[in-house]
Amino acid sequence: MMETCEGPRASRRGFLLGLAATLAVGPTRLAFARTEGDARLVVVILRGALDGLYAVQAYGDPAFAGLRGVLALPEPGQENGLLDLGGRFGLHPAMPSLHGLYAANEALVLHAVAGNYRTRSHFDAQDLLESGAGQRMTSGWLNRALAAVPNPEQARMGLAVGLGLPLLLQGPTPVGAYAPPGLERPAPDLVYRVAALQAPDPVLGPAFAEGMRARGFVAETLGPPGAPDRDQLNFPRLAGSAARLLAAPDGPRVAAMELGGWDTHAGQANRLPPLLRSLDEGLGALKTGLGDAWAKTAVLVVTEFGRTVRPNGNNGTDHGTGGVAFVLGGAVAGGRVVADWPGLGGDGLLENRDLAPTQHLRGVAKGLLRDHLKLPEAAVMAAFPRSAEAPALRGMVRG
């Protein structure tokens, strides 16, 4: 990089042009045709394993109340009762926005769903959930799927929302990143010189360049950063900011967000409602922030696994298997609970402890890549290798 450090101003420009050229002309992206439409996909990962039977209670199952004990809420219509989802299932009352979307036929609830793994380890399961494969890979399924989508000039197709870059979006395709500012920012000129120093580093160079790109883009779309705010990393606000970035005509098309804290081994009835409320407000903020683009949006909410059907010794739940996922958005043919219900009574439970999984999480994601992002079959297979047992779920998207 020495030769680009000759006169400060000219070199900086030259350096940036060179950088942009390297990043924009990747070999893989040119191999695919431009996809139809203007679809947006948001993936929300709930880390720690949401208790699906708590968020979406199977009150119509005769064994439900007995097995769940203190974790069973009153049926719909009763005081503090569930929000009805069509007679057999009820949504936790802390999720009125999601229920409103369901009532407007813009939300699907998928129950008794699980990934293609049976580990009860959070960390293995999150890795496999995000890898989309049978073993941990160094890239995530959403990143591999993005290889099939052409990058607009100004912004990356994919956007990691928050301080980190989840495995889901790690991989060969460059993605953007956004988090609200927390510190005073140095002059742009200094940032350019730091970028020049880091450019030769194979790991730091590209990541730093992407950080600059993301901030430049964010400044254009959201305006200059305001005063630091302790609360800005909270999920609803982050979701609102992400939605506005996604709504921009030249903005990213795919975003990943994460929300942690779902590992409720104790006192679940006190710990989950605020989290469910935060998730629900975030989903509402996505719709508000996306504006007209909501009609072209699908949001997939997933967690690594479900939890034990019976409460444990502390009115919490331990690591389980089958759980719940949500698909919502203006592009979604919603208003239904999609479940091949295994039943909780008799021998219905997996290993006499977990909700038995009867549908594949990978099939849900594949369905969205194929029918919503309209990716070619080869791209879907690259995202989810060796996933023949999990065919793409049909009928989730309008049209």
Partner 1 sequence: MIDAMPHLAVIRFGLGPRLNEPLPTDPRAWLAAQVTTAAPPPEGPSVSETLKARDADIRDRDANGGTPPGQARVVPIIRADQRAWAERRLTATQPYRERLVDFWMNHFTVSGRNGGTRFMIGAYEREAIRPHLTGRFADMLVAATFHPAMLNYLNANTSIGPNSPAGQRNRRGLNENLAREVLELHTLSPAGGYTQGDVTEFAKVLTGWSVAERAEPFNTVFRPQAHEPGQKHILGRTWDAGQESAEQVLRFLAQQPATHRHLAVKLARHFVADDPPPGAVRRIEGALRDTDGDLGAVAAMLPTLEEAWAAPLSKLRPPKDWVLAVCRAMALPPERAEAAIGGMASLGQPLWSPPQPNGWPDTAEGWAAPEGLMRRVDWANTVSARGQQLDVRVVADAALGPLLRAETVTAVMRAGSVREALTLTFLSPEFMRR
Query: DSSP state, 280?
Result: H
> Footprint of partner 1 on residues 159-178 (CB under 8 A)?
160, 162-165, 170, 176-178
The span from the CA of 222 to the CA of 257, in Å, is: 18
Backbone phi, psi, residue 270, to 5°: -90, -30
Other CB atoms within 10 A of residue 134 CB: 12
Residue 65 Cβ vs partner 1, minimum distance, rounded to whole Å? 16
Using CB under 8 A as the binding rule, whether residue 18 contacts partner 1 is answered as no
Stretch that binds partner 1, among 119-127, 147-155, 243-251, 283-291 (CB under 8 A): 119-127
Using CB under 8 A as the binding rule, whether residue 13 contacts partner 1 is answered as no
Residue 116 Cβ vs partner 1, minimum distance, rounded to whole Å? 16
Single residue of 88, 122, 336, 398 touching partner 1 by CB under 8 A: 122
* Closest-CA residue to 321 (of 273, 370, 355, 285): 355
Single residue of 108, 168, 214, 275 touching partner 1 by CB under 8 A: 214
Binding track over 245-274 against partner 1, x by CB under 8 A: ---------------xx-x-xx--------
Using CB under 8 A as the binding rule, whether residue 241 contacts partner 1 is answered as no
Single residue of 9, 78, 135, 200 touching partner 1 by CB under 8 A: 200
The alpha-helical segments, DSSP class H, found in 248-357 are 268-290
Write out the two tokens for 97.
């926005």
Write out the two tokens for 321.
């298997």
In terms of CB distance, is 134 or 260 closer to partner 1? 260
Other CB atoms within 10 A of residue 369 CB: 26
Q: Which residues pair with 257 in a beta bridge?
A: 44
Stretch that binds partner 1, among 244-252, 287-295, 308-316, 376-384 (CB under 8 A): 308-316
Write out the two tokens for 359.
């549908």
The span from the CA of 294 to the CA of 174, in Å, is: 25
> Footprint of partner 1 on residues 336-365 (CB under 8 A)?
351
The alpha-helical segments, DSSP class H, found in 104-230 are 122-131, 141-146, 188-198, 204-222
In terms of CB distance, is 90 or 174 closer to partner 1? 174
Cα 135 to Cα 172, 270, 359, 390: the distances in Å are 18, 35, 20, 16
Where does this chain bind partner 1 (CB under 8 A)? Answer: 1-2, 5, 8, 47-48, 119-124, 138, 160, 162-165, 170, 176-179, 181-186, 190-191, 193-194, 196-198, 200-201, 203-204, 207-208, 210-215, 260-261, 263, 265-266, 312-314, 316, 318-319, 351
